Structure 1
Amino acid sequence: MLPAREVSLHDCCDPARFDRWLYDRQAVHRYGLAERLRIWIEVAADRDLPLVFGEGWAGHTPLHGTFEEGPGGAGICLDAVEHAQRVGASGTVICSNAAPHHPMRADTDLQVTANALFAGQR
């Protein structure tokens, strides 16, 4: 028996339209999002505890959306992974949609790049 799968309401929306909505607004919010992620990562690291980031960076996008693996979303994810590595996190996710049940799981180039970045090999 397969485990129950999480389904979010926006997984049922038009993913292309959702992606367009994100790209239309990215220019205005890019700096603020990058700065907020950097601050959150640094605050999380400012503890005497093991640090592992277990959730994505660009929000929870629709299952069949492509924003996170596209140039805008991938840039956000790679920047956050680099910050996580810089502050000494023990682990991190690449982004929200790289889970085994998501289509983005097939994007091995992004995963290899993010993992190499986190390992300090880039």
Structure 2
Amino acid sequence: MSNTDSLEHGRDQGFRVTMTTRQWQIIDATIDNEVDMAVTNGDPQQHVAELGRSIRQAGWDQLIGADGEWPPVDEVVSVTLSGPQWELVTESLENWASVSDDLGQHDDAQRGRLIRTLVKGQLPR
């Protein structure tokens, strides 16, 4: 079973991934970009927009404190998302890393790919 098959099989199951707050903030910003592009370019079934919004909301619900603030950027946190949500995260990180490369922003591209590798390494294969 491929990683995608495993994630699809886990459609209703949550998968917990650990990272720093800063890494999650990069995911959050990447998904925000992905949702914006889906809305701008047309997302006829609203799949990407809805899934992306659900990812961002899950992160906020799980990480934002009672004071309305993110934890410190170097704090290790865990986020639980469904298989399809993590699949959109990993695809989006790669897509936007390619965009960053095209724009000459190689550090941003590398950072996105490292986070993608971190996430994929914690998901079922």
Shorter-chain TM band = under 0.3
Q: Give TM-score, length-normalised by structure 2.
A: 0.27
Structure that is richer in helix per residue: 2
Structure that is richer in strand per residue: 2
Q: Give TM-score, length-normalised by structure 1.
A: 0.28
Q: Higher relative CO (CA 8 A, sep ≥ 6), structure 1 or 2?
A: 2
Q: Which has the larger radius of gyration?
A: 1
